[in-house]
Amino acid sequence: MLLQQTKVLTVSPDLSNPRDIDSLKFAAEIIKRGGLVAFPTETVYGLGANALDENAVKSIFTAKGRPQDNPLIVHVSTPDDISLYANTQNNKAFDILKDEMPAPLTVILPKKENISDTVSANLDSVGMRVPVSKVARKLISLAGVPIAAPSANLSGKPSPTCARHVIDDMTGRVDVIIDAGNSLVGVESTVLSLCTDIPEILRPGGFTLEMLQRLLGKVNVSDAVLEKLKEGQTAASPGMKYRHYAPNVPLTLVKGTRENVKKYLYDALRNKDCAVMCCDGLIENTDNVKGIILSLGDSERLEGYASLLFDTLRRLDEMPQIKEAFAALPEDTQGISLAIYNRMLRASGFNVADADVACAITEVLS
């Protein structure tokens, strides 16, 4: 840290306030001098440092408590800048995706020599991203350097989707926190490897599989997206092997038909120590409900579920009376639901209950 204490600067997401640019100039100066700045993006808040300054990059790992073998994404302000740090030559998929940027998308490409082993965690590839957020892009262009940034949470905690989450985790660990309100997408970017013949999703996010298939044709999805890594198996994306997003209390995911999931959760809610995360309207009858219902928004709009997810997981940890939690899973893994499934599976430690089976057993026994 360069400053004595963490400074919080509020800016408008569209940079419409004349003072916003002064605030970003201050933050950009901190980056140039090797400091740490937490900044908003459309996905989640990032914890940024000059990607070309080895000591600054090392301090990101210390501030987060992040394992050294987990590489960082390098953020640039325009798609053209990607080829300054990554080899994009003769990469047809990259040429197509470049026109879609800025986007909630990180592309993994062979790295150039100016990307250190600390940034890439000794891999020969680098993750590159152009955020949609105007604030993020302005900060990068004012700093005049690429910004390496993981999500701005303490390692293992859910990624931050508003400045309060960052303040909770990072006060005293970073120089500046830029507050521009809630992140719109709410889950991290889609990580797509372009190092293989067929592009492969290593982490699903706001840029969905279906969108990628429309643009690129065949796209693979890494096994690690929906499955637990087996003993000794290496993750294509090192981040996938770590415990992530887990609340302090045990979390069970509930899948099945809407009717059976509803019965299962209604039953759980008779217990006052229990919290249930689900979309509005699932639990209509609140007679006998003693537990807490945490809304994940409208079931017709799962983008809302994604954007509320991390905040809801953090809120669980602020409720000492809660001893166990349940969450209703979306009915399928289409669109943004693939990212929701991926994050929820990790948050629960792959603990999934099948409401259809549970209800069938109850019927037999009654």
Binding site for ligand TXA (CB under 6 A): 41, 43-44, 46, 70-73, 106, 108, 120, 123, 125-127, 129, 149-151, 188-189, 191, 202-203, 237-239
Residues pairing with 9 in the sheet:
178
Tell me the residue nearest to ligand TXA as measured from the CB.
239
Q: Is 151 in the site for Mg ion (CB under 5 A)?
A: yes
Q: Which partner in ligand TXA, Mg ion, none is near 70 (CB below 5 to 8 A by kind)?
A: ligand TXA
Q: Which is nearer to ligand TXA, 46 or 247 (CB)?
A: 46
Q: Is 41 in the site for Mg ion (CB under 5 A)?
A: no
Binding range to Mg ion, per CB under 5 A, among 48-56, 144-152, 245-253, 278-286: 144-152
Residues 6+ apart with CB under 8 A from 296: 277, 278, 279, 304, 305, 308, 309, 312, 327, 328
Tell me how far, at minimum, the Cβ of 71 lies from ligand TXA, in Å: 4
Tell me how far, at minimum, the Cβ of 159 lies from Mg ion, in Å: 5
Q: Is 106 in the site for Mg ion (CB under 5 A)?
A: no
Q: Which partner in ligand TXA, Mg ion, none is near 342 (CB below 5 to 8 A by kind)?
A: none
Q: Which is nearer to ligand TXA, 108 or 254 (CB)?
A: 108
**HEC sequence for the chain:** CCCCCCEEEECCCCCCCCCHHHHHHHHHHHHHCCCCEEECCCCCCEEEEECCCHHHHHHHHHHHCCCCCCCCEEECCCHHHHHHHECCCCCHHHHHHHCCCCCCEEEEEEECCCCCHHHHCCCCEEEEECCCCHHHHHHHHHHCCCEECCECCCCCCCCCCCHHHHHHHHCCCCCEEEECCCCCCCCCCEEEECCCCCCEEEECCCCCHHHHHHHHCCCEECHHHCCCCCCCCCCCCHHHHCCCCCCCCCEEEEECCHHHHHHHHHHHCCCCCEEEEECCCCCCCCCCCCCEEEECCCCCCHHHHHHHHHHHHHHHHCCCCCCEEEEECCCCCCCCHHHHHHHHHHHHCCCEEEHHHHHHHHHHHC
Q: Which is nearer to ligand TXA, 44 or 261 (CB)?
A: 44
Tell me how far, at minimum, the Cβ of 11 lies from ligand TXA, in Å: 17
Q: Which partner in ligand TXA, Mg ion, none is near 71 (CB below 5 to 8 A by kind)?
A: ligand TXA
For residue 71, say if its preceding peptide bond is cis, omega within 30 degrees of 0: no
Binding range to Mg ion, per CB under 5 A, among 124-132, 143-151, 301-309, 310-318: 143-151
Q: Which is nearer to Mg ion, 151 or 161 (CB)?
A: 151
Q: Which is nearer to ligand TXA, 151 or 337 (CB)?
A: 151
Give me the residue label for tokens 């669109």.
335
Tell me how far, at minimum, the Cβ of 127 lies from Mg ion, in Å: 12
Tell me how far, at minimum, the Cβ of 64 lies from ligand TXA, in Å: 9
Tell me how far, at minimum, the Cβ of 93 lies from ligand TXA, in Å: 15
Tell me how far, at minimum, the Cβ of 189 lies from Mg ion, in Å: 10
Q: How far apart are CA 98 and CA 106, in angstroms?
A: 11
Q: Which partner in ligand TXA, Mg ion, none is near 46 (CB below 5 to 8 A by kind)?
A: ligand TXA
Q: Which is nearer to ligand TXA, 136 or 296 (CB)?
A: 136
Binding range to Mg ion, per CB under 5 A, among 45-53, 151-159, 195-203, 278-286: 151-159
Q: Which is nearer to ligand TXA, 127 or 297 (CB)?
A: 127
* Contact set with Mg ion (CB under 5 A): 151
